[in-house]
Amino acid sequence: MNWQHTPRGGYGYSVCVAGIVTKIAAKRVQIRVAVRSGNEWQQVTKWVEPARLSTREKPVPELDGA
């Protein structure tokens, strides 16, 4: 799925971030996303609002292992 992320101080623009749903709670969804740290990709978890999620059609090697 894609997460519509609005960075802090980002002047109101949103960025689509590819992620994988790991948990579903009453009001939020936990997702796993890839974050670049230097030359390496690391996977981190985030709690997000379900309204900020949409479907993803293309695989992402950093998340899917493809």
- For residue range 40-61, list pLDDT tens digits in order: 889 999 999 999 999 988 888 8
- 34 closest CA partner among 6, 3, 58: 3
Query: Is 63 within a domain?
Result: no
Distance of alpha carbon 49 from alpha carbon 57, whole angstroms: 20
The token pair at 18 is 């590819």
Query: Is 64 within a domain?
Result: no
Query: Is 66 within a domain?
Result: no
Distance of alpha carbon 8 from alpha carbon 10, whole angstroms: 5
**Range of 22's domain?**
1-58
Query: Is 65 within a domain?
Result: no
pTM of the model: 0.80
Quick one: DSSP state of residue 63? Answer: H
Query: Is 33 within a domain?
Result: yes
pLDDT at 66 over 60: no
Please tell me the total count of domains within the chain.
1
- Which pairs from 26-30 meet CB under 8 Å and 24+ separation? 29/53
Q: What percent of the chain stands above pLDDT 70? A: 97
